[in-house]
Amino acid sequence: MSRPSPAPRGARSQRTRSASRLRAWLRHHRAMSVDSTRRLLRQPLGSLLTMLAIAIALVLPAALWLTLDSARLLDAELDASATLTAYLASGVDDGEAGRIEEAIAAQPQVAHTRLVTAAEGMAEFQQALGLADALARLDDNPLPASVVVTPVDPSPEAVRRLSADLGQLAGVAEVRLDLAWLERLRQLAELGRRVALALAVLFGLGVLLVVGNTIRLAVESRRQEIEVVMLIGATHAFVRRPFLYSGAWYGLGGGLLAWGLLALGNQWLAAPVRALAASYGANFAMPQLGGMGSATLLICSTLLGWLGAWIAVSRHLAGIRPR
Amino acid sequence: MIVFEHVGKRYGGRFEALANLDFRVRRGEMVFLTGHSGAGKSSLLRLIMRLERPSRGRILVAGHDIARLHASQVPFYRRQIGVVFQDHQLLFDRSIYHNVALPLEIRGIEPREAARRVRAALDKVGLLHRERALPIELSGGEQQRVGIARAVVNKPALLLADEPTGNLDPQLSADIMALFEDFNRIGTTVMIASHDLALIARLRHRTLRLREGRLVADEEAA
């Protein structure tokens, strides 16, 4: 008869022990997630109000972020359409204008050029302003020919440099670039981004407080239970677990409600925004959260709920000593 | 099992709850702790449960200086001790079964094994037929028996009880004490704080008598 050597048996029992410990841990997680859900459902109105408070705190920074995101899209579009206009000297005829255009097109920083002759300029002007009658009475065409230049690099410095270079060319009277308003828009967007970040931090703290306060009350109402389980050997993690699940559920519920509110707001604002954009001749689509944005919103709100619960329970665990 | 070496406990720097306690309890012994209320019985039990640390001296339980336990080890230390409280400390929002199962749940015992042990413990205290009841539906004596079932379901090496018969009539008290004797007979070290002197005298076990925080008598069983 052979006896099993003790070493592998010990190793195996070690393995089974840690495996069973893992199973016990998972079992408790499952039990607590179900238990905390049941507790939320037992007080549907209270739970809903808490989630709504979280949702409202989340909607504002999320909406601002969405708006800025769409502004960034707009920004990119504007960059792509940044052009300079080189007005030629008034005496330049069409043939000479063509040669100047070629000279401009030959510059390395120029991506594309379009010549607008004096006559074409007049036609565009008449069409844009609807002043056909008044302008037709003029004897001469007072408008100079111009070359619309699309730069290779649309960044403000590059455009400014190109504009100076073009100004040096013979036959070019003046170079116009409308960058000032673009710059202002960028600065506004930057300001908005910072405001959004500050708001997100503030409202994130708000979510922590809302969840923390709710969990504090829950801890208070289960104080006796906590004391008893600590007396019979529960670890802090064991005591904390159901509350962390509650916090995470509150956060997730708040996130889902915030998502719904954003979608609702989007619907509600879509028509007037489209009309406004159309009046500027722009095609502006309402910003959407999209898959990534939705996931970010839900994950952040769940984590905030969890963290709020963690802080609240830990503070109270330190205060609760079994009698 | 339990060794007290010159143990003293002061509260708030002035009030001396326990002074210079020196005794040892052997493994498998059954010991009563008596004295008037305020004599320090509860303080002594709280020290053993590591709810408090002694201001002076050393307490060894199963060979370990329990003041040296790290906070994270304390829960695991407490799992080796079964405690019965005067006011039962049952959870009123769950059934008798789940109250008794609580220590096993904390230890992560597999549910089928836990059910077996819970039923065995309830059977021992004679309440197997009430496992689905809520604590509120039980009499005081029955509630105390549930508390005992919860304390022993883990098969602890040490069983502590603080006035377990405090609110019970003499017949029920005798029944409860008989239960403790049963557990002692199978090897559990038992320490019971009680001021029911008549009952203690009848049971003939070693008795530690406290007065104003001092050990004034240590009488072996007659």
Write the DSSP assignment of A148-194 as a string of letters: EEEES--SHHHHHHHHHHHHHSTTEEEEEE--HHHHHHHHHHHHHHH
Task: State the DSSP code for B218.
Answer: E
Task: Delineate the domains of chain A, giving CATH numbers in brackets.
Answer: 31-77+184-319 (no CATH), 83-178 (3.30.70.3040)
The span from the CA of A301 to the CA of A61, in Å, is 12
Place of tokens 């008795």: B207
CB contacts < 8 A (A, B): 54
Q: Which of A293, A299, A318, A286 is nearest to A74 (CA)?
A: A286
The span from the CA of B95 to the CA of B131, in Å, is 7
* Predicted pLDDT at A11: 55
* Predicted pLDDT at A278: 77
Q: Which residues of A touch B102 (CB under 8 A)?
A: 228-229, 232
B146 touches chain A (CB under 8 A): no
pLDDT, tens digit, 9 for 90 and up, residues B107-125? 988 889 999 999 999 998 8
For the beta carbon of residue A244, count every other beta carbon within 10 angstroms.
Answer: 23
For testing contact with chain A, the best of B85, B107, B109, B148 (most A CBs within 10 A): B107
pLDDT, tens digit, 9 for 90 and up, residues B65-104? 998 888 889 999 999 999 998 888 899 989 999 999 999 9
Task: Mark yes or no for CB contact B72/A24 under 8 Å.
Answer: no
Strand boundaries in A152-301, DSSP class E: 172-177
Task: Mark yes or no for CB contact A232/B49 under 8 Å.
Answer: no
Q: Which of residues 60-119 of B touch A (CB under 8 A)?
A: 72, 75-79, 83, 89, 91, 93, 102-103, 105-111
Structure tokens at B159: 């069983």
Task: Mark yes or no for CB contact B109/A21 under 8 Å.
Answer: no
Q: Which residues of B touch A233 (CB under 8 A)?
A: 75-79, 103, 106-107
Q: Which of residues 4-43 of B touch A (CB under 8 A)?
A: none
The span from the CA of B32 to the CA of B184, in Å, is 12
The span from the CA of B107 to the CA of B53, in Å, is 25
Spatial strand order of the sheet with B15-25 comes to B15-25, B2-11, B56-61, B64-65
* Predicted pLDDT at A83: 76
Task: Mark yes or no for CB contact A232/B105 under 8 Å.
Answer: no
Nearest residue in B to A24, CA atom: B108
A39-47 long-range Cβ contacts below 8 angstroms, 24+ apart = A39/A218, A39/A242, A39/A246, A40/A246, A40/A249, A40/A250, A40/A253, A47/A250, A47/A253
A90 touches chain B (CB under 8 A): no
Residue B47, min C-alpha distance to chain A (Å): 12
Structure tokens at B134: 């809520």
Query: Per-residue pLDDT for B46 more than 60?
Result: yes
Place of tokens 């308003």: A181
The span from the CA of A101 to the CA of A95, in Å, is 10
| Contact by Cβ (8 Å): A23, B110 | yes
What is the dotted CATH code of the domain comprising B28-53+72-219? 3.40.50.300
* Predicted pLDDT at B220: 82
Task: Mark yes or no for CB contact B89/A224 under 8 Å.
Answer: yes
Place of tokens 């002007």: A125
The span from the CA of B53 to the CA of B46, in Å, is 9
pLDDT, tens digit, 9 for 90 and up, residues B146-186? 999 999 998 899 999 998 887 788 888 888 899 999 999 99
- Per-residue pLDDT 10s for chain A (323 aa) are 344 444 444 555 667 778 888 888 888 888 888 888 888 888 889 899 999 999 999 998 888 888 877 766 666 666 656 678 888 887 778 888 888 888 888 888 888 888 888 878 777 777 766 666 666 667 677 778 888 888 887 777 787 888 888 888 878 888 887 666 677 777 887 888 888 889 889 998 999 999 999 999 999 888 888 988 988 889 999 999 999 999 999 999 999 999 999 999 888 888 888 888 777 666 666 777 888 889 999 999 999 999 999 999 988 887 776 54
Residue A305, min C-alpha distance to chain B (Å): 25
| Contact by Cβ (8 Å): B23, B30 | no
A189 touches chain B (CB under 8 A): no
Nearest neighbour of A233 by CB, restricted to B78, B89, B93? B78
The span from the CA of A61 to the CA of A50, in Å, is 18
* Predicted pLDDT at A131: 64
Task: Mark yes or no for CB contact B102/A228 under 8 Å.
Answer: yes
Task: Mark yes or no for CB contact B79/A27 under 8 Å.
Answer: no
What does the pLDDT average to over B24-48? Answer: 90
Nearest neighbour of B102 by CB, restricted to A21, A27, A229? A229
